[in-house]
Amino acid sequence: MVQYDEKIIQSYVEAMYRRARSVTSSHFFIGLLAGLIAFAHISTILVGELDLLIVAIGVLTGAFLGIGSGRAKAFQLQIQAQMALCQVKMEQNTRKA
């Protein structure tokens, strides 16, 4: 039978916070790259060649959307970690002596 071990939950929470710290920058770079690729393709369709202004708008748009998405995901991870910590605290407070 598996026994309760709060150290496992604590290590899970620490991993969630490490991931939350890195997810915003990851989403930023993914959005930047996606905006670059998408708007470079759009530029070649509209203009017939690579237009730097259209690509720059795409890069900025992608980076902006990536940061927003990353912050939302980081917040979600932090909330999940806090819920796990609350459950550990509840177990500690309701444990029989």
Q: 8-67, pLDDT tens digit by residue?
A: 999 999 999 999 999 999 999 999 999 999 999 999 999 888 899 999 999 999 999 999
Domain-embedded: residue 36? yes
- What pTM was estimated for this model as a whole? 0.80
Tell whether 18 is covered by a domain.
Answer: no
Shortest CA distance to 95 belongs to which of 10, 2, 6, 1?
Answer: 6
Query: Which helix (H) or strand (E) covers residue 66, if one does?
Result: helix 52-94
The answer to the question of residue 57 being in a domain is: yes
Interhelix angle 6-46/52-94, nearest 10 degrees: 170
Answer yes or no: is 96 within a domain: no
C-alpha count within 13 angstroms, C-beta hemisphere, residue 34:
13
10 found inside a domain = no
Residue range 4-22, pLDDT digits in tens: 888 999 999 999 999 999 9
Q: Where in the sequence is the domain holding 71, given as residue range(s)?
A: 26-90
